[in-house]
Amino acid sequence: MKKVIVIGGGIIGLCSAYYLSKEGCEVTVIDQSAMDFGASYVNAGYLTPSHIIPLAAPGAMKQGLKWMFNPASPLFIKPRLEPGFLQWAWAFNKSCSEKNVKNSITAIKDINLLSVDLFSELKQQENFNFQLEHKGLLMLCQTQKALHHEVEVAYLAAKEGLEVTVLTAAEIGKMQPQTYINAIGAVHFKCDWHTTPNVFMEEFKAHLQENGVQFFKNEKVIDLRLEGTSIKEINTEKQILQADEFVLAAGSSSSLLSRKLGIKIPLEAGKGYRINTQRETGISIPAILTEARVAVTPMDGFTRFAGTMEIAGIHHKINPVRVEAIAKAVQKYYPEINVSTEEKAQAACGLRPVSPDGKPYIGKSSKCDNLTIATGHAMMGWSMGPATGKLVSEVISGKKLSMNIDAFHPDRRF
Ligand X SMILES: Cc1cc2nc3c(=O)[nH]c(=O)nc-3n(C[C@H](O)[C@H](O)[C@H](O)COP(=O)(O)OP(=O)(O)OC[C@H]3O[C@@H](n4cnc5c(N)ncnc54)[C@H](O)[C@@H]3O)c2cc1C
User: Which residues of this chain interact with ligand X, rule CB under 6 A?
Assistant: 7-13, 30-33, 35, 38-40, 42-46, 48, 220-221, 249-251, 253, 257, 272-274, 295, 306, 350-353, 375, 377-383
For residues 310 and 64, is the Cβ–Cβ distance under 8 A? no
User: Which of 72/169 has CB closer to ligand X?
Assistant: 72
Tell me how crowded residue 170 is: count the other CB atoms within 10 A of its CB.
9
CB of 23 to ligand X, least distance (A): 20
User: Which of 74/272 has CB closer to ligand X?
Assistant: 272
User: Which of 14/396 has CB closer to ligand X?
Assistant: 14
CB of 41 to ligand X, least distance (A): 8
CB of 168 to ligand X, least distance (A): 26
CB of 131 to ligand X, least distance (A): 13
User: Which of 191/249 has CB closer to ligand X?
Assistant: 249
User: Which of 145/379 has CB closer to ligand X?
Assistant: 379
Name 42's Cβ contacts closer than 8 Å, sequence gap at least 6: 197, 198, 272, 273, 274, 306, 348, 349, 350
User: Which of 147/351 has CB closer to ligand X?
Assistant: 351
Give the number of C-alpha atoms closer than 13 A to the C-alpha of residue 163, restricted to the C-beta side: 9
Bridge partners (DSSP) of residue 276 are 304
Q: Is 318 exposed, middle or buried (0-12, 13-18, 19+ CB in 10 A)?
A: middle
CB of 224 to ligand X, least distance (A): 10
Task: Return d(Cα 88, Cα 211) in angstroms, integer.
Answer: 39
CB of 6 to ligand X, least distance (A): 9
Give the number of C-alpha atoms closer than 13 A to the C-alpha of residue 81, restricted to the C-beta side: 0
CB of 99 to ligand X, least distance (A): 24
Cα 156–Cα 158–Cα 161 angle in degrees, nearest 5: 115
Greatest pairwise CA separation for the chain in angstroms: 65
CB of 170 to ligand X, least distance (A): 28
Task: Return d(Cα 235, Cα 241) in angstroms, integer.
Answer: 6
- Rg of the Cα trace of the chain? 20
User: Which of 246/382 has CB closer to ligand X?
Assistant: 382
For residues 357 and 414, is the Cβ–Cβ distance under 8 A? yes
User: Which of 147/362 has CB closer to ligand X?
Assistant: 362
For residues 283 and 248, is the Cβ–Cβ distance under 8 A? no
Task: Return d(Cα 40, Cα 412) in angstroms, integer.
Answer: 26
